[in-house]
Amino acid sequence: MDSRVSELFGGCCRPAGGGASAALRGRGGAAPGGGGGSKTKKKNGRSRGGKANNPPYLPPEVSSGGRRLKLVNPSQYRFEHLVTQMKWRLQEGRGEAVYQIGVEDNGLLVGLSEEEMRASLKTLRRMAEKVGADITVLREREVDYDSDVPRKITEVLVRKVPDNQQFLDLRVAVLGNVDSGKSTLLGVLTQGELDNGRGRARLNLFRHLHEIQSGRTSSISFEILGFNSKGEVVNYSDSRTAEEICESSSKMITFIDLAGHHKYLKTTIFGLTSYCPDFAMLVVSANTGIAGTTREHLGLAMALKVPFFIVISKVDLCSKATVERTVKQLERILKQPGCNKLPLLVNSDDDAVTAAQQFAQSPNITPIFTLSSVSGENLDLLKVFLNILPPLTNSKEQEELMQQHTEFQVDEIYTVPEVGTVVGGTLSSGICREGENLVVGPTDDGKFLRLKVCSIQRNRSACRVLRAGQAATLALGPFDRSLLRKGMVMVSPEMNPTICSVFEAEIVLLFHATTFRKGFQVTVHVGNVRQTAIVEKIHGKDKLRTGEKAVVCFRFIKHPEYLKIGAKLLFREGVTKGIGHVTNLQAITTKENSLEESLGPGQLSF
């Protein structure tokens, strides 16, 4: 790989496997019809003097859907073909695709003259208008090719909100030690105003008086940051309301602000397991480095396989040498065998674009940002990164989830005046509509209750249809709140959900001071389920020590829960920690698992 490729785009970011050129791969899936390169005569990589000039290449794509040498005055047939390819790429990328203009199908960075580039971008803009999308030039660079005329390559983001959605949606969990600046950073991003150095920006994020008094988050809160189709930030500045942000945005980032203090660890774990974040943002204070719960939060993200990036905050308080020491400390931990990550330090817009594309393609890439919420240093780089960051699932996976039975996880329960009982959570599978009849459970005695969804809200704006993977709040009208609890599920009546009190899981004991034996009690987290369970049996062994694996039988001590085989499991008790996945369920029989109907405060059996 020619070193000039690395210098051309984001030279300081080196992805796994060598040069940074891999960052220029097209996004949005393989387009039908292949081949989009021009049939113009190509150079053979030799200069006029007859010597090879070794022009830089990008790695060849499986399909050339996102690479175009040039798009100058295509015929009508060719234009319609290109539009069809764009529709396909947008569908596969769930509304986003990246095009590279001036790049051959085989990855050769040929570049275009100023006039050709202008004409190609005009054609691309026409194509985008045809499908109802917008384009944004991400970056452009001159290339060293065998020509007397300066030649450029350009990278363009095409964005279109899918027809069945109001906006593209990503969920980012915010982790980090107490006092690392998590809530302040979110306040600056979502409010549009820099902090005064004393925590003014975070005040709007707190939900309780004691949080305002102590300055420490103890509960889970949600904040939204929007981007319009041109990539511009849409937030609460200019006195916008949440509804106006949703209406003006084509892409929405929902931040899940989690607690940093160790005594609120169960709340943080619940936020990571139940709200199904797409990504995690680990915030580290530049002046304290890796301290407190930072390592623990990093381990949680890795155990639950949530892709994460790192933000080093408060760089305005430290010298350059201190910031560099914190960066090196993080790089050392990320490269350890247990982590095996490749850190990318982001210092420019090019680095941010490269990092976003590499981060989505490789689970080993970990971008690192250094910024200040007071001076605003490098804050724009984080915004560029979030704007380009693509969803993890493609359209095919989304369609498969939507075709399954409806399953909604109950994570929050409220009572709203003149509305009634409201539940918040995530739709794991299927589709949920206003007026739909569902069943919720299991109750303490293992039953499911009938209810009706009266209305739906997403990001504080009304929504008629909820699709798999989306988070929302559902109004249940007069349904008795006392019958609900966190950890329940709302499912289709025809699903006949299975529940259990006893289950088996294949686990790895991450840490335990002595030996892990039968009779030991732990707090088990499986999705939105959080309950104390007792160890009934360890198959094939009498006891476990740190680092050992085994299949363990657990029994919930209070009430049955709805679990699924293969679900990720995390358990803890004091300093004891372990991870694993559910392998077997001892389901409660159908006779015991009966349906009941709830009519206000009372209930009637069938």
Q: pLDDT tens digits for 572-588?
A: 887 778 999 999 999 88
Q: What is the pTM of this model?
A: 0.79
User: What fold is seen in the domain 66-160?
Assistant: Translation Initiation Factor IF3 (3.30.110)
User: What fold is seen in the domain 499-587?
Assistant: Elongation Factor Tu (Ef-tu); domain 3 (2.40.30)
Which pLDDT does position 605 carry in this prediction? 33
Residue 149, Cβ neighbours under 10 Å: how many?
A: 11
User: What fold is seen in the domain 168-392?
Assistant: Rossmann fold (3.40.50)
Across 302-322, b (16+ Cβ under 10 Å) vs e yields: bbbebbbbbbbbbbbbbeeee
Which pLDDT does position 13 carry in this prediction? 44
Examine domains 66-160 and 396-491 and report if their fold is the same.
Answer: no
Positions of the chain with pLDDT lower than 70, given as ranges: 1-69, 145-147, 163-166, 198-199, 202, 204-218, 239, 394-395, 589-606
Residue 233, Cβ neighbours under 10 Å: how many?
A: 17
Q: Report, at the CATH architecture level, how domain 396-491 is classified.
A: Beta Barrel (2.40)
Structural domain spans, the chain: 66-160, 168-392, 396-491, 499-587
Which pLDDT does position 168 carry in this prediction? 81
CA distance 343 to 123: 38
Which pLDDT does position 49 carry in this prediction? 39
Of residues 84, 106, 107, the one with CA closest to residue 31: 84
Which pLDDT does position 59 carry in this prediction? 52
Which pairing describes strands 407-416 and 365-370: parallel, antiparallel, or unpaired?
unpaired
Which pLDDT does position 271 carry in this prediction? 87
Dihedral angle at the C-alpha atoms of 392, 381, 203, 527, nearest 10 degrees?
A: 20
Which pairing describes strands 279-285 and 431-433: parallel, antiparallel, or unpaired?
unpaired
Which pLDDT does position 591 carry in this prediction? 42
In a 13 Å sphere around the CA of 28, the CA atoms on its Cβ side amount to: 28
Q: Is 17 left (phi over 0), alpha (psi -120 to 50) or beta?
A: left
